[in-house]
Structure 1
Amino acid sequence: MSLFKKIFGAVNDVSGEERNSDSNPFLPEEQLPVDELFMLNFKKNGGKFIYCDNLTEVHEQFLNVLEENDWFECEVMCFEPKLHVLLDENKLNYTKPVSPKFLLASCENLIADEGSILFSSNQIKQNKPNELPANIVIVATTSQLLGNKSDGLREIKKKYDKDYPTNITTIKYFEKVKEEDFLHYGSSVKNLYLLLLEDL
Protein backbone atom coordinates (compact mmCIF):
# COMPACT_ATOMS: atom_id res chain seq x y z
CA MET A 1 0.00 0.00 0.00
CA SER A 2 1.40 3.42 -0.90
CA LEU A 3 2.17 6.08 1.66
CA PHE A 4 -0.59 8.42 0.35
CA LYS A 5 -3.23 5.68 0.78
CA LYS A 6 -2.10 5.09 4.37
CA ILE A 7 -2.28 8.80 5.21
CA PHE A 8 -5.35 9.89 3.26
CA GLY A 9 -7.18 6.55 3.03
CA ALA A 10 -8.17 4.66 -0.08
CA VAL A 11 -10.29 6.54 -2.60
CA ASN A 12 -12.87 3.73 -2.67
CA ASP A 13 -12.97 3.37 1.12
CA VAL A 14 -16.30 5.16 1.63
CA SER A 15 -18.62 4.43 4.54
CA GLY A 16 -22.09 2.96 3.87
CA GLU A 17 -23.84 6.20 4.90
CA GLU A 18 -21.78 8.30 2.50
CA ARG A 19 -22.41 5.79 -0.28
CA ASN A 20 -26.19 6.02 0.28
CA SER A 21 -26.20 9.80 0.40
CA ASP A 22 -24.34 9.96 -2.92
CA SER A 23 -26.73 7.61 -4.71
CA ASN A 24 -27.36 8.37 -8.35
CA PRO A 25 -30.62 10.34 -8.76
CA PHE A 26 -31.08 8.79 -12.22
CA LEU A 27 -31.28 5.23 -10.92
CA PRO A 28 -34.80 4.03 -10.04
CA GLU A 29 -35.67 3.97 -6.37
CA GLU A 30 -36.81 0.80 -4.69
CA GLN A 31 -40.25 0.05 -6.16
CA LEU A 32 -43.25 -0.21 -3.84
CA PRO A 33 -45.74 -3.05 -4.35
CA VAL A 34 -48.61 -2.07 -6.66
CA ASP A 35 -51.24 -2.06 -3.87
CA GLU A 36 -49.17 0.20 -1.59
CA LEU A 37 -48.29 2.55 -4.46
CA PHE A 38 -51.96 2.85 -5.43
CA MET A 39 -53.10 3.59 -1.87
CA LEU A 40 -50.36 6.18 -1.40
CA ASN A 41 -51.17 8.02 -4.66
CA PHE A 42 -54.95 7.63 -4.30
CA LYS A 43 -54.92 9.21 -0.83
CA LYS A 44 -52.52 11.93 -2.05
CA ASN A 45 -55.11 12.77 -4.74
CA GLY A 46 -57.78 13.12 -2.03
CA GLY A 47 -59.64 9.82 -2.48
CA LYS A 48 -61.38 8.05 0.40
CA PHE A 49 -60.34 4.43 0.64
CA ILE A 50 -62.32 1.69 2.46
CA TYR A 51 -60.91 -1.84 2.51
CA CYS A 52 -63.43 -4.72 2.67
CA ASP A 53 -62.65 -8.39 3.42
CA ASN A 54 -65.91 -9.76 2.00
CA LEU A 55 -69.21 -8.79 0.34
CA THR A 56 -70.95 -8.36 3.70
CA GLU A 57 -68.43 -5.64 4.57
CA VAL A 58 -69.02 -3.97 1.18
CA HIS A 59 -72.74 -3.71 2.02
CA GLU A 60 -71.98 -2.41 5.54
CA GLN A 61 -69.45 0.17 4.32
CA PHE A 62 -71.79 1.34 1.56
CA LEU A 63 -74.44 1.96 4.24
CA ASN A 64 -71.83 3.89 6.29
CA VAL A 65 -71.07 6.11 3.26
CA LEU A 66 -74.81 6.78 2.83
CA GLU A 67 -75.13 7.70 6.53
CA GLU A 68 -72.04 9.91 6.49
CA ASN A 69 -73.38 11.96 3.57
CA ASP A 70 -77.13 11.68 4.31
CA TRP A 71 -77.80 10.16 0.89
CA PHE A 72 -80.93 8.25 1.85
CA GLU A 73 -84.04 8.59 -0.32
CA CYS A 74 -82.12 10.26 -3.10
CA GLU A 75 -81.61 9.62 -6.80
CA VAL A 76 -78.51 7.72 -7.93
CA MET A 77 -76.82 7.28 -11.30
CA CYS A 78 -75.95 3.59 -11.85
CA PHE A 79 -75.64 1.81 -15.20
CA GLU A 80 -74.61 -1.62 -13.92
CA PRO A 81 -77.34 -4.13 -12.97
CA LYS A 82 -74.90 -6.10 -10.77
CA LEU A 83 -74.75 -3.10 -8.40
CA HIS A 84 -78.51 -2.51 -8.21
CA VAL A 85 -78.78 -4.84 -5.20
CA LEU A 86 -76.89 -2.22 -3.09
CA LEU A 87 -79.37 0.43 -4.18
CA ASP A 88 -82.48 -1.74 -3.79
CA GLU A 89 -81.67 -2.77 -0.22
CA ASN A 90 -81.25 0.92 0.70
CA LYS A 91 -84.37 2.04 -1.23
CA LEU A 92 -82.48 4.39 -3.55
CA ASN A 93 -83.97 5.44 -6.89
CA TYR A 94 -81.74 4.69 -9.91
CA THR A 95 -84.27 4.53 -12.75
CA LYS A 96 -83.97 7.64 -14.91
CA PRO A 97 -82.57 9.98 -12.23
CA VAL A 98 -83.11 13.69 -12.89
CA SER A 99 -80.59 15.09 -10.41
CA PRO A 100 -78.53 12.21 -8.97
CA LYS A 101 -76.63 12.81 -5.72
CA PHE A 102 -73.91 10.30 -6.64
CA LEU A 103 -72.72 7.73 -9.16
CA LEU A 104 -72.41 4.12 -8.04
CA ALA A 105 -70.12 2.18 -10.37
CA SER A 106 -67.43 -0.41 -10.72
CA CYS A 107 -64.37 0.36 -12.84
CA GLU A 108 -62.09 -1.26 -15.38
CA ASN A 109 -58.93 -0.94 -13.29
CA LEU A 110 -57.18 0.93 -10.49
CA ILE A 111 -53.98 2.61 -11.75
CA ALA A 112 -51.22 2.56 -9.12
CA ASP A 113 -48.66 5.03 -10.51
CA GLU A 114 -51.29 7.82 -10.65
CA GLY A 115 -53.72 6.70 -7.95
CA SER A 116 -56.47 7.02 -10.56
CA ILE A 117 -59.60 5.06 -11.55
CA LEU A 118 -59.92 3.78 -15.14
CA PHE A 119 -63.48 3.76 -16.53
CA SER A 120 -65.08 2.82 -19.82
CA SER A 121 -68.54 3.04 -21.37
CA ASN A 122 -69.43 -0.14 -19.44
CA GLN A 123 -69.54 1.91 -16.23
CA ILE A 124 -70.34 5.49 -17.30
CA LYS A 125 -71.89 5.06 -20.80
CA GLN A 126 -70.95 8.06 -22.97
CA ASN A 127 -70.78 10.58 -20.11
CA LYS A 128 -67.65 12.69 -19.79
CA PRO A 129 -66.22 13.05 -16.26
CA ASN A 130 -67.61 16.60 -15.94
CA GLU A 131 -71.11 15.27 -16.79
CA LEU A 132 -71.06 12.80 -13.89
CA PRO A 133 -72.31 13.70 -10.39
CA ALA A 134 -69.81 15.41 -8.09
CA ASN A 135 -69.92 12.40 -5.74
CA ILE A 136 -68.86 8.90 -6.81
CA VAL A 137 -68.83 5.57 -4.98
CA ILE A 138 -66.71 2.89 -6.66
CA VAL A 139 -66.85 -0.83 -5.89
CA ALA A 140 -63.63 -2.52 -7.05
CA THR A 141 -61.51 -5.56 -6.25
CA THR A 142 -57.83 -5.98 -5.42
CA SER A 143 -57.34 -8.00 -8.63
CA GLN A 144 -58.09 -4.80 -10.58
CA LEU A 145 -54.91 -3.09 -9.30
CA LEU A 146 -52.42 -2.45 -12.11
CA GLY A 147 -49.15 -0.53 -12.37
CA ASN A 148 -49.96 2.05 -15.06
CA LYS A 149 -52.42 3.11 -17.78
CA SER A 150 -50.68 1.00 -20.42
CA ASP A 151 -51.32 -2.09 -18.29
CA GLY A 152 -54.96 -0.98 -17.93
CA LEU A 153 -55.46 -0.56 -21.68
CA ARG A 154 -53.79 -3.93 -22.32
CA GLU A 155 -56.15 -5.53 -19.79
CA ILE A 156 -59.20 -3.96 -21.50
CA LYS A 157 -57.99 -5.28 -24.86
CA LYS A 158 -57.53 -8.77 -23.41
CA LYS A 159 -60.81 -8.77 -21.45
CA TYR A 160 -63.12 -7.62 -24.25
CA ASP A 161 -61.33 -9.31 -27.17
CA LYS A 162 -63.13 -7.65 -30.11
CA ASP A 163 -66.11 -5.87 -28.54
CA TYR A 164 -64.05 -3.01 -27.10
CA PRO A 165 -65.77 -0.49 -24.85
CA THR A 166 -65.74 3.15 -25.86
CA ASN A 167 -65.25 6.28 -23.77
CA ILE A 168 -62.18 5.02 -21.89
CA THR A 169 -61.13 7.66 -19.34
CA THR A 170 -59.57 8.09 -15.91
CA ILE A 171 -60.53 10.19 -12.93
CA LYS A 172 -57.55 11.23 -10.87
CA TYR A 173 -58.40 14.25 -8.71
CA PHE A 174 -60.68 13.79 -5.73
CA GLU A 175 -60.31 17.15 -4.01
CA LYS A 176 -59.81 20.71 -5.19
CA VAL A 177 -56.12 21.61 -5.28
CA LYS A 178 -54.98 24.81 -3.60
CA GLU A 179 -52.84 25.94 -6.52
CA GLU A 180 -53.83 24.73 -9.96
CA ASP A 181 -51.14 24.24 -12.58
CA PHE A 182 -51.32 23.14 -16.20
CA LEU A 183 -51.50 19.47 -15.12
CA HIS A 184 -54.92 20.09 -13.57
CA TYR A 185 -56.30 22.00 -16.55
CA GLY A 186 -59.61 20.54 -17.72
CA SER A 187 -59.69 17.90 -14.98
CA SER A 188 -62.93 17.21 -13.19
CA VAL A 189 -62.65 17.04 -9.39
CA LYS A 190 -64.84 14.38 -7.74
CA ASN A 191 -65.62 13.45 -4.14
CA LEU A 192 -64.79 9.75 -4.49
CA TYR A 193 -65.17 6.78 -2.16
CA LEU A 194 -63.51 3.48 -3.09
CA LEU A 195 -64.88 0.28 -1.56
CA LEU A 196 -62.03 -2.15 -2.28
CA LEU A 197 -62.96 -5.83 -1.95
CA GLU A 198 -60.21 -8.36 -1.30
CA ASP A 199 -60.47 -11.08 -3.94
CA LEU A 200 -56.92 -12.45 -4.19
Structure 2
Amino acid sequence: MSLFDRLFKGITKSDNQPSNKGKGSSRGKYYPEENSPIDEKFTYNFNRNGGKFLYCENMAEVSESFDNILLENDWYENDVFCIDETLKSKFTGYNLNFIKKTKATFFLTRCESLVCNNGSILLSSRQIKEKKLDELPSNIVVFATTSQFTENISEGLRIIKNTCDNFIPSNITTIQDFETGKEKDFMSYGSSTKNLYLLLLEDL
Protein backbone atom coordinates (compact mmCIF):
# COMPACT_ATOMS: atom_id res chain seq x y z
CA MET A 1 0.00 0.00 0.00
CA SER A 2 1.43 3.42 -0.95
CA LEU A 3 2.07 6.31 1.41
CA PHE A 4 -0.79 8.22 -0.23
CA ASP A 5 -3.20 5.32 0.32
CA ARG A 6 -2.25 5.05 3.98
CA LEU A 7 -2.54 8.77 4.52
CA PHE A 8 -6.22 8.67 3.59
CA LYS A 9 -7.00 5.16 4.87
CA GLY A 10 -8.94 6.54 7.84
CA ILE A 11 -11.25 8.68 5.69
CA THR A 12 -14.19 6.40 5.04
CA LYS A 13 -16.70 8.75 3.43
CA SER A 14 -17.17 8.37 -0.32
CA ASP A 15 -17.00 11.16 -2.86
CA ASN A 16 -20.38 9.97 -4.06
CA GLN A 17 -22.05 10.31 -0.68
CA PRO A 18 -24.66 13.08 -0.59
CA SER A 19 -23.54 16.27 1.10
CA ASN A 20 -25.47 18.29 3.65
CA LYS A 21 -26.00 21.23 1.31
CA GLY A 22 -29.54 22.51 1.36
CA LYS A 23 -30.18 21.04 4.80
CA GLY A 24 -29.13 24.03 6.86
CA SER A 25 -25.70 22.59 7.65
CA SER A 26 -22.28 24.01 6.88
CA ARG A 27 -20.50 20.70 7.47
CA GLY A 28 -18.38 19.59 4.51
CA LYS A 29 -19.03 16.24 2.85
CA TYR A 30 -15.84 14.79 4.41
CA TYR A 31 -16.53 16.15 7.88
CA PRO A 32 -17.23 13.23 10.28
CA GLU A 33 -20.68 12.95 11.78
CA GLU A 34 -21.03 14.15 15.37
CA ASN A 35 -21.45 10.56 16.57
CA SER A 36 -18.62 9.18 14.41
CA PRO A 37 -16.02 6.88 15.99
CA ILE A 38 -13.21 8.84 17.58
CA ASP A 39 -10.62 7.35 15.21
CA GLU A 40 -12.51 8.78 12.23
CA LYS A 41 -12.73 12.20 13.90
CA PHE A 42 -9.03 12.15 14.68
CA THR A 43 -8.11 11.22 11.10
CA TYR A 44 -10.18 14.06 9.70
CA ASN A 45 -8.91 16.69 12.15
CA PHE A 46 -5.29 15.54 11.98
CA ASN A 47 -5.24 15.68 8.17
CA ARG A 48 -6.97 19.08 8.26
CA ASN A 49 -4.17 20.32 10.54
CA GLY A 50 -1.62 19.26 7.92
CA GLY A 51 -0.34 16.08 9.58
CA LYS A 52 0.86 13.05 7.63
CA PHE A 53 -1.00 9.96 8.78
CA LEU A 54 0.29 6.42 8.14
CA TYR A 55 -1.90 3.57 9.37
CA CYS A 56 -0.07 0.27 10.02
CA GLU A 57 -1.58 -3.09 10.90
CA ASN A 58 1.66 -4.60 12.27
CA MET A 59 5.28 -3.76 13.04
CA ALA A 60 6.39 -4.90 9.60
CA GLU A 61 4.24 -2.16 8.08
CA VAL A 62 5.55 0.33 10.65
CA SER A 63 9.12 -0.48 9.58
CA GLU A 64 8.20 -0.17 5.90
CA SER A 65 6.48 3.18 6.45
CA PHE A 66 9.37 4.51 8.52
CA ASP A 67 11.78 3.48 5.77
CA ASN A 68 9.62 5.31 3.22
CA ILE A 69 9.66 8.47 5.36
CA LEU A 70 13.46 8.38 5.46
CA LEU A 71 13.64 7.77 1.73
CA GLU A 72 11.14 10.52 0.90
CA ASN A 73 13.06 13.10 2.93
CA ASP A 74 16.62 11.80 2.42
CA TRP A 75 17.10 11.41 6.18
CA TYR A 76 19.40 8.38 6.13
CA GLU A 77 22.64 8.79 8.11
CA ASN A 78 21.24 11.88 9.85
CA ASP A 79 21.11 12.86 13.53
CA VAL A 80 17.86 11.94 15.30
CA PHE A 81 16.78 13.40 18.61
CA CYS A 82 15.37 10.51 20.65
CA ILE A 83 15.26 10.01 24.42
CA ASP A 84 13.19 6.81 24.33
CA GLU A 85 15.49 3.78 24.53
CA THR A 86 12.70 1.40 23.46
CA LEU A 87 12.10 3.40 20.29
CA LYS A 88 15.80 3.35 19.50
CA SER A 89 15.75 -0.44 19.58
CA LYS A 90 12.62 -0.59 17.41
CA PHE A 91 14.11 1.62 14.71
CA THR A 92 17.68 0.40 14.45
CA GLY A 93 19.19 -0.63 11.12
CA TYR A 94 18.54 2.63 9.23
CA ASN A 95 22.02 4.16 9.60
CA LEU A 96 20.64 6.82 11.93
CA ASN A 97 22.65 8.58 14.62
CA PHE A 98 20.51 8.74 17.76
CA ILE A 99 21.42 11.71 19.95
CA LYS A 100 19.93 13.45 22.98
CA LYS A 101 20.42 16.95 21.60
CA THR A 102 17.60 18.80 19.88
CA LYS A 103 19.80 20.06 17.05
CA ALA A 104 18.90 17.10 14.85
CA THR A 105 17.21 16.43 11.52
CA PHE A 106 14.09 15.04 13.19
CA PHE A 107 12.61 14.03 16.53
CA LEU A 108 11.50 10.41 17.00
CA THR A 109 9.06 10.01 19.88
CA ARG A 110 6.00 8.43 21.40
CA CYS A 111 3.12 10.52 22.76
CA GLU A 112 0.66 10.47 25.63
CA SER A 113 -2.46 10.41 23.48
CA LEU A 114 -4.05 11.31 20.16
CA VAL A 115 -6.72 13.94 20.78
CA CYS A 116 -9.64 13.36 18.44
CA ASN A 117 -11.75 16.50 18.78
CA ASN A 118 -8.97 18.72 17.43
CA GLY A 119 -6.50 16.30 15.84
CA SER A 120 -3.61 17.19 18.14
CA ILE A 121 -0.77 15.17 19.67
CA LEU A 122 -0.53 15.30 23.48
CA LEU A 123 3.02 15.20 24.86
CA SER A 124 4.46 15.42 28.35
CA SER A 125 7.85 15.54 30.01
CA ARG A 126 7.95 11.76 29.62
CA GLN A 127 8.60 12.36 25.92
CA ILE A 128 10.18 15.82 25.74
CA LYS A 129 11.63 16.36 29.25
CA GLU A 130 11.40 20.11 29.92
CA LYS A 131 11.84 21.17 26.30
CA LYS A 132 9.50 23.70 24.73
CA LEU A 133 7.97 23.02 21.34
CA ASP A 134 10.09 25.63 19.61
CA GLU A 135 13.23 23.88 20.95
CA LEU A 136 12.34 20.62 19.20
CA PRO A 137 13.39 19.83 15.61
CA SER A 138 10.96 21.09 12.98
CA ASN A 139 10.51 17.51 11.71
CA ILE A 140 8.85 14.99 14.02
CA VAL A 141 7.99 11.30 13.64
CA VAL A 142 5.51 10.07 16.27
CA PHE A 143 4.97 6.37 16.94
CA ALA A 144 1.56 5.72 18.52
CA THR A 145 -1.12 3.03 18.76
CA THR A 146 -4.87 3.04 18.20
CA SER A 147 -5.45 2.46 21.93
CA GLN A 148 -4.14 5.99 22.54
CA PHE A 149 -7.14 7.76 21.00
CA THR A 150 -8.86 10.11 23.45
CA GLU A 151 -11.93 12.22 22.82
CA ASN A 152 -10.43 15.44 24.22
CA ILE A 153 -7.48 16.86 26.13
CA SER A 154 -9.21 16.45 29.51
CA GLU A 155 -9.50 12.71 28.94
CA GLY A 156 -5.84 12.60 27.93
CA LEU A 157 -4.86 14.37 31.14
CA ARG A 158 -6.86 11.88 33.21
CA ILE A 159 -5.00 9.01 31.55
CA ILE A 160 -1.65 10.66 32.30
CA LYS A 161 -2.67 11.09 35.94
CA ASN A 162 -3.77 7.46 36.23
CA THR A 163 -0.64 6.04 34.58
CA CYS A 164 1.65 8.26 36.68
CA ASP A 165 0.11 7.24 40.02
CA ASN A 166 -1.67 10.61 40.38
CA PHE A 167 1.56 12.49 39.63
CA ILE A 168 1.15 15.06 36.86
CA PRO A 169 4.28 15.63 34.74
CA SER A 170 5.57 19.19 34.92
CA ASN A 171 5.62 19.72 31.16
CA ILE A 172 2.41 18.94 29.22
CA THR A 173 1.70 20.35 25.79
CA THR A 174 -0.02 19.61 22.49
CA ILE A 175 1.10 19.93 18.89
CA GLN A 176 -1.70 20.84 16.50
CA ASP A 177 -0.12 22.86 13.69
CA PHE A 178 1.59 20.54 11.18
CA GLU A 179 1.33 22.51 7.96
CA THR A 180 4.57 24.33 7.31
CA GLY A 181 4.58 27.37 5.05
CA LYS A 182 0.98 28.38 5.69
CA GLU A 183 0.06 31.88 6.76
CA LYS A 184 -0.69 32.21 10.47
CA ASP A 185 -3.96 33.61 11.72
CA PHE A 186 -4.64 35.06 15.16
CA MET A 187 -5.80 31.65 16.45
CA SER A 188 -2.43 30.03 15.70
CA TYR A 189 -0.20 32.97 16.58
CA GLY A 190 2.69 31.91 18.79
CA SER A 191 2.30 28.20 17.99
CA SER A 192 5.23 26.15 16.77
CA THR A 193 4.57 24.59 13.37
CA LYS A 194 5.99 21.10 12.93
CA ASN A 195 6.31 18.83 9.91
CA LEU A 196 4.83 15.76 11.59
CA TYR A 197 4.44 12.14 10.53
CA LEU A 198 2.28 9.81 12.60
CA LEU A 199 3.06 6.08 12.48
CA LEU A 200 -0.15 4.61 13.90
CA LEU A 201 -0.05 0.91 14.86
CA GLU A 202 -3.30 -1.03 15.20
CA ASP A 203 -3.31 -2.66 18.65
CA LEU A 204 -7.04 -3.11 19.37
Contact 2:84–2:109 (CA<8 Å) still a contact in 1?
yes
Corresponding position: 1:77 with 2:87: no
Match of 2:122 among 118, 125, 131: 118
Task: Summarize the Cα distance change of 1:178–1:45 in structure 2 as closer, same or farther, 3 Å threshold.
Answer: same
Give the Å deviation of 1:63.
0.8
Q: List alignment gaps of at least 5 residues for structure 1.
A: 1-19, 24-28
Match of 2:180 among 155, 176, 180: 176
Corresponding position: 1:136 with 2:140: yes
Contact 1:108–1:156 (CA<8 Å) still a contact in 2?
yes
Larger radius of gyration: 1
Contact 1:76–1:92 (CA<8 Å) still a contact in 2?
yes
Q: Deviations over 1:12-50 (max 9, x none)?
A: xxxxxxxx9468xxxxx7322100000000000000000
Matches within 5 A, 1:30-179: 30-97=34-101, 99-176=103-180, 178-179=182-183
C-alpha distance in structure 1 between counterparts of 2:191 and 2:143, whole Å: 22
Give the Å deviation of 1:78.
0.4
Q: Deviations over 1:72-108 (max 9, x none)?
A: 0010000101100244211211134473000000000
Structure with the higher fraction of residues in helix conformation: 1
Q: List alignment gaps of at least 5 residues for structure 2.
A: 1-21, 26-32
Report the identity percentage.
54
In the superposition, the TM-score normalised over structure 2's length comes to 0.81
Give the Å deviation of 1:157.
0.8
Give the Å deviation of 1:185.
1.1
In the superposition, the TM-score normalised over structure 1's length comes to 0.82
Equivalent pairs counted in the alignment come to: 177
